[in-house]
Amino acid sequence: MDPAELIPHRAPFLLLDEITEIVPGEVARGTWHLTGDEWFFAGHFPGRPTLPGVLMIESLAQCGAAAVLADPRYVGRLPLFGGVERARFRRQVVPGETLELELTVTQLSARAGKGTGKATVDGKTACEAQLLFVIVDAQAG
């Protein structure tokens, strides 16, 4: 599934290429294929391009947002970051690799939630974290 069908992010800040599995309000799995042409690789780092850890966290958050927004109870809503806990980065991710993402929603209410995310490359953990989010109206005002 195209993530743009569920989440409002667009290029250059859509950090998820495909949603491969989704259980609304519970879990989402997806992929992000890193070609090396992404805007951040040129400066992070010249001669040794490496995916910034904060963007791995953001890609997990986008995956989780898809799980939340696929739930009919959250139509017209938007999950926003509330916090990141227990983030750990286990390996570098470089151009040519595919980041496999999974976010499991562990708590979800009308106004907030929490999820556990893991990003892997070829079955090896690249990043894991707990994400906290608040749920607001999609339109400001």
**Residues labelled catalytic:** 44
Neighbours of 85 (CB within 10 A): 10
- What length does the chain have? 141
CB atoms within 10 A of CB 8: 12
**Of 139, 134, 109, 129, residue with least CA distance to 59:** 129
Pairwise CA distance, residues 63 & 39, whole Å: 20
